[in-house]
Amino acid sequence: MLRTKDDLRVQIQAYKVPALYVCSSIPLLTFSAFPGAMKVIALAAAWVAACAQLAHAEIVIDRMWSTTYDYSKVQELSNPQIKFVDGQALAASVNVTAAASVKSQQYDAIGIQVQENQLAQLVDTFGGGVTDSVAITLQDFKSKHPKDYDDLLHLLFSQDAEWHAKGGVGLNTAPKLWQTLHDIVAIHPGLKIISAPWSAPGWMKDGADETQPLFGGSLKVGMEEVYANYLVKAVSEIKAQEKLDIYALTLLNEPQIPELQYPTMKLSAAQAIQVGKLVRTALNKQGFEKVKLLTWDHNWDNTDYALQVLNADPTQWDGTAWHGYAGKPSSQKIVHDAYPDKETYFTEYTVISQYFSEPYKNMKNTARNLLIGSIRYYSRSVVLWNLVLRKDEDGFTTPHLPNVCQNCNAAVLLLPDSTDALAAADPSHTKTVAEAAGAAKKDKRRRRSLWRRADDTKPDTTTEELKPQTGSPAVAGGGEKAEAIQAKDVVDAKKTGTNSVYETALFKRSSDYSVLSHLSAAVRPTGASKEYSKRIGVSSTDEITELGGRLLAQAFRQDGVKPGVSRFSLILLNQNDHYETDVWENATAVIGFRGQIANVTTLPGLYTLSWEAPTVDTSAAAKAPLPAKADAPAADAKAAS
Ligand SMILES: *[C@@H]1O[C@H](CO)[C@@H](O)[C@H](O)[C@H]1NC(C)=O
Ligand SMILES: *[C@@H]1O[C@H](CO)[C@@H](O)[C@H](O)[C@H]1NC(C)=O
Ligand SMILES: *[C@@H]1O[C@H](CO)[C@@H](O)[C@H](O)[C@H]1NC(C)=O
């Protein structure tokens, strides 16, 4: 609101004036001539606003979330007030000698160029796997600590700023599971549920484990229609009985998985083509046109399967889902480029929990591959595995089937005090690898119970029931090297430097939580906007090799945060560590935006910066095809002019 001449001056001075002498002087003169006239004030304000569109507004980085490599800052929110100023964008990284660095506080500088005109996919889906392991853990926690359970679900899923301020992450996706899902949906009715079966019932399979037909084998040739009906019935029964909408469905979790000691099945691409068509047709017929159908749902190391399926008939599919245990995120681009109108989702990744003691390493790898890599190659989502597990005294996570994923990470780790009923309630709870191996042989009771489930043809949670977690090659076998990590050593990714942040001795947030927090901070709706952010182009002068170099970036844009104003977010991964020698070097990002630069110096870690700027119409540019990897710096340097 402009009330006085001084206010007006201040307002005008707030804009850079190159073009704008004329622009700024006229309303001032007008104002002087008719002091106090409201009409003129309105006119002057409108003029200033119009001029602001023409001139460069001053652009200031006003939010920064910091997670340093040593977790001295875990998810600290600050307002660094770093202004974009005139200056040359870097065309190449600039190295500074160690001596010069100490002497003059200058650090290696890396050019990060933000290309707002390269508008790409919406990134609106992030969360964690809600398996039976997660649900068992959480329901046990609920019975023992109902208030803390409620708080934990609010931290994870509440969309309210109040919970964000307490360190909440505002997740909006979660694969499956009933009572827990009801509790989550009560907090966040817009939750997106992505459903993925792990196996058909044993009687639909060939070559499954003899004593445990949910383990291994393939969908019998000739069973395609039966399996398709089974999947569609699951969607309709979940709606009828649980009142839950499935957002997206994959035909099968990891259809090319090798034989493992938990529910798995193989489904050939030829079968997926048949089943997909039957499922799509039946879903549409039963009023589930909106349920998205995604193919593949397996690792980056195979693009042929998804291409074969889409080539057969792309109209049956909404897109492709990916896991990150093998291959490279750039595989997503191959399928995207063949079918640019189809969507890309990243649906599963976890690491083994040795990284409890190395949270930076875990955060760095996950952020690099997913926040930078997978999203660069068109993913709308980042879903980590699992959402919540119990962390035992011996450093393993539980519950799990014998010898499967004994020490997989989770975004939230319930500490021993939180769920002591669990060990007694869950026969698969094993404390050591040796015990787990013994249990695999001995646990007849469990085998029988699995067998019973396999015979049960009711299309509900049957095939999901005992899913412990992925046994992907990168994860399997890691368990034997797990180190005993004390609960106190598990880093809690909750501190933000304020006392208002939710604290408890019952659970801790892991580095996976940090990764999800940064994505949430970058893309969740803010201000007046109701929309998540879209990815925009960005490049780093240091990325000479794919995802290499000292600083990597991912950039986003959200329009409508105020009338005519967009908010830009930049996730910055500073991986300028010398991990083995324990040397941690600062690096300076020279961020180029609209022909100006802002220098931001950070220690190794993960950072999300954001700033507002007047919205520039990029509709013409948006129609042009977007390269997955940003072009050379300064491509849109004068976009705002
Ligand atoms: C700068 O340092 C990086 C990392 O140490 C190195 O890879 C790069 O070659 C150096 N660049 C120049 C121009 O010396
Ligand atoms: C930003 O850093 C670069 C590289 O060190 C330097 O040349 C430039 O002067 C700095 N600009 C500002 C505004 O600090
Ligand atoms: C890194 O840069 C920050 C400024 O952002 C500075 O305060 C700190 O001393 C630097 N640390 C090292 C190890 O150079």
High-pLDDT (> 70) share of the chain, %:
74
443 domain residue, yes or no: no
Q: In this predicted structure, what is the pLDDT of residue 321?
A: 98
More reliable by pLDDT, 220 or 9: 220
Residues linked to residue 507 through DSSP beta bridges, in sequence order:
414
- The 3 state secondary structure assigned to 387-433 is CEEEECCCCCEECCCCCCCCCECCCEEECHHHCCHHHHHCCCCCCCH
Question: Which residue among 597, 599, 600, 601 has the greatest number of ligand 2 atoms within 8 angstroms of its CB, and so is best to mutate?
Answer: 599
Judged by average pLDDT, the poorest of 219-228, 444-453, 588-597 is: 444-453
Residue 641, pLDDT score? 30
Residue with CA nearest ligand 1 atom 3: 95
User: How many CA atoms are closer than 13 Å to the CA of 415, on its beta-carbon side?
Assistant: 17
Angle formed at CA 96 by CA 91 and CA 101, multiple of 5 degrees: 140
Task: Give mean pLDDT, residues 253-277.
Answer: 93
Q: Is the pLDDT at 6 greater than 50, yes or no?
A: no
Q: Answer yes or no: are the C-beta atoms of 342 and 490 closer than 8 Å.
A: no
Token output for 200? 């058909």
Is 609:131 a contact under the CB 8 Å cutoff? Answer: no
d(CA 257, CA 440): 20
Contact between 176 and 127 under an 8 Å Cβ cutoff? The reply is no
At 45, is the pLDDT very low, low, confident or very high (cuts 50, 70, 90)?
low
What is the sign of the dihedral through the CA atoms of 485, 148, 367 and 406?
positive
Residue 174 in this model has a pLDDT that exceeds 90: no
Whether the predicted pLDDT of 431 surpasses 70:
no
> pLDDT value at position 355?
61
Is the predicted pLDDT of residue 384 greater than 70, yes or no?
Answer: yes
Lowest mean pLDDT among 221-225, 496-500, 557-561: 496-500
Average pLDDT over residues 385-392: 86
Same domain, 211 and 327: yes
Q: Counting ligands in written order, which one lies closest to the CA of residue 95?
A: 1
How much distance in Å is there from the Cα of 586 to the middle of ligand 3?
Answer: 6
| 389 in the same domain as 273 | yes
* 235 and 335 belong to one structural domain: yes
In a domain, 596, yes or no: yes
Q: Which residues are bridge partners to 387 per DSSP?
A: none
Is residue 105 in contact with ligand 1, taking CB distance under 6 Å? Answer: no
pLDDT band at 356 (very low <50, low <70, confident <90, very high): low
* Lowest pLDDT segment from 111-120, 260-269, 316-325, 388-397: 388-397
Residue with the bigger pLDDT between 2 and 380: it is: 380
| Residue 545 counted as domain residue | yes
Ligand 3 pocket member 599 (CB < 6 A): no
> Which of residues 419, 439, 457 is at a domain's end?
419
CA 193 to chain centre: 15
| Residue range 250-258: mean pLDDT, rounded | 95
Element (H, E) at 45: helix 38-54
Residue 305 neighbours by CB under 8 Å, 6+ apart: 255, 256, 269, 272, 295, 296, 298
Question: Is pLDDT of 9 > 60?
Answer: no
Asked whether residue 335 is domain-assigned, the answer is: yes
Q: How far apart are CA 416 and CA 489, in angstroms?
A: 13
pLDDT level of residue 392 (50, 70, 90 thresholds): confident
Is residue 263 in a domain?
Answer: yes
- Same domain assignment for residues 236 and 299: yes
Ligand 3 centroid to residue 77 C-alpha, Å: 18
In this prediction, residues 521-529 reach a mean pLDDT of 97
- Which of residues 419, 441, 463 is at a domain's end? 419
Distance of alpha carbon 495 from alpha carbon 520, whole angstroms = 16
Which residue has the least CA distance to atom 10 on ligand 2? Answer: 599
Return the higher-pLDDT residue of 167 and 619. 167
Print the domain residue range for 221.
Answer: 127-419
Residue 71 lies in a domain: yes
Lowest mean pLDDT among 180-189, 319-328, 366-375, 418-427: 418-427
Under the banding of pLDDT at 50, 70 and 90, the label for residue 425 is: very low
497 Rama sector, left if φ>0, alpha if ψ -120 to 50, beta otherwise? left
Rounded CA-CA distance 440/463 in Å is 20
> Is residue 607 predicted with pLDDT exceeding 80?
yes
Among 393, 420, 451, which residue's Cα sits nearest to residue 137? 420
With contact defined as beta carbons under 8 Å apart, do 324 and 447 qualify? Answer: no
Domain boundary among 379, 403, 419: 419
Give the pLDDT score at 554. Answer: 98
Segment 380-389 shows an average pLDDT of: 93
* 8 Å CB contact between 269 and 305: yes
At 227 the pLDDT is 98
Tell me how far apart the alpha carbons of residues 520 and 525 are, in angstroms, rounded to a whole number: 9
Residue minimizing CA distance to atom 1 of ligand 2: 599
Q: Are residues 550 and 581 in the same domain?
A: yes
Domain CATH code at residue 566: 2.60.40.1180
Mean pLDDT of 53-63: 78
Greater pLDDT, 33 or 497: 497
State the average pLDDT over residues 426-443. Answer: 43
- Given pLDDT bands bounded at 50, 70 and 90, which one contains residue 102? confident
According to the model, what pLDDT value does residue 43 have?
46
User: Is 620 domain-assigned?
Assistant: no
pLDDT cut 90: percent of the chain above it: 57
**Closest ligand to Cα 85:** 2
- Residue 478: what pLDDT? 32
Angle, CA of 210, 211 and 215, to the nearest 5°: 75
Q: How far is the CA of 549 from the centre of ligand 1 (A)?
A: 9
C-alpha 634 to ligand 1 mean position (Å): 22
For the Cβ of 599 lying below 6 angstroms from any atom of ligand 2, the answer is yes
Neighbours of 183 (CB within 10 A): 17
* Cα 591 to ligand 2 centroid, rounded to whole Å: 10
Which 3-state string (H, E, C) describes 592-622? EECCEEEEEEECCEEEEEEEEEECCCCHHHH
Contacts of 281 (CB under 8 A, 6+ apart): none
Residue whose CA is at the smallest distance from ligand 1 atom 10: 95
Residues 297 and 394 in one domain: yes
Q: Are 85 and 222 contained in the same domain?
A: no
User: Is residue 92 domain-shared with residue 135, that is, in the same domain?
Assistant: no
Atom 2 (ligand 1) nearest CA: 95
Whether 588 is in the pocket of ligand 2, judged by its Cβ within 6 Å, is: yes
Same domain, yes or no: 411 and 551: no
Cα–Cα separations (whole angstroms), residue 32 to 25, 43, 44, 481, 569: 11, 13, 11, 77, 40
Rounded CA gap, 292 and 271, in Å?
19
Q: Which residue has the higher pLDDT, 51 or 299?
A: 299
**pLDDT score for 220:** 97
Mutate to test the pocket of ligand 3, among 68, 78, 603, 607 (most ligand atoms within 8 A of CB): 603
What is the DSSP pairing of strand 76-78 with strand 292-299?
A: unpaired
- CA 478 → CA 304, 315, 430, 483, 509, distances in Å? 28, 40, 16, 11, 22
Please tell me the distance between residue 600's alpha carbon and the centre of ligand 2 in angstroms. 10
Atom of ligand 1 nearest to the CA of 544: 7
Instruction: Identify whether residues 235 and 272 lie together within a single domain.
Output: yes
More confident residue, 35 or 342: 342
Q: Which residue from 90, 94, 95 has its CB within 8 A of the most atoms of ligand 1, so it is best to mutate?
A: 95
Q: What is the CATH number of the domain that holds 371?
A: 3.20.20.80
pLDDT at 29 over 50: no
> What does the pLDDT average to over 271-286?
98
Q: Span 20-49, mean pLDDT?
A: 39
> Has residue 470 been placed in a domain?
no
Sheet strands (E) in 207-245: 218-219
Q: Whose CA is nearest to atom 12 of ligand 1?
A: 95
87 lines ligand 2 (CB under 6 A): yes
Alpha-carbon distance values, 43 to 34, 48, 260, 536 (Å)? 12, 9, 72, 35
Q: At what angle do helices 178-187 and 224-242 cross, to 10 degrees?
A: 50
* Cα 506 to Cα 142: distance, rounded to the nearest angstrom: 12
Looking at residue 545, its amino acid is T
Instruction: Answer yes or no: do 193 and 168 share one domain.
Output: yes
Q: Band of the pLDDT at 304, cuts 50, 70, 90?
A: very high
Tell me the CA–centroid distance for residue 70 and ligand 3, in Å: 14
**Are residues 128 and 386 in contact, defined by beta-carbon separation less than 8 angstroms?**
yes
Q: What is the DSSP secondary structure assignment for residue 340, as one 8-state letter?
A: T
Q: How far is the CA of 101 from the centre of ligand 3 (A)?
A: 10
Per the structure, the count of domains in the chain is: 2
109 C-alpha vs ligand 2 centroid, how far in Å? 8
Query: Is residue 79 classed as helix, strand or coil in its secondary structure?
Result: coil
pLDDT, position 325: 93
Residues 149 and 265 in one domain: yes
Residue 111 CA to ligand 3 centre (angstroms): 19
Least confident of 3-17, 153-167, 533-547: 3-17
Distance between Cα 106 and ligand 3 center (Å)? 9
pLDDT of residue 395: 66
> Which is the closest atom of ligand 3 to the Cα of 586?
1
Top pLDDT among 420 and 107 is at 107
Q: pLDDT digit string (tens) for 193-213?
A: 999 999 999 999 999 999 889
Could you report the per-residue pLDDT of 553-591, keeping only the tens digit for each? 999 999 999 999 999 999 999 999 988 888 899 999 999
Q: Is the pLDDT of residue 55 over 60?
A: no
Q: What integer best gives the mean pLDDT of the chain?
A: 80
Among residues 238, 12, 72, 27, which one has the least CA distance to residue 603?
A: 72
The residue-averaged pLDDT of 51-70 equals: 81
Residue 498 pLDDT: 67
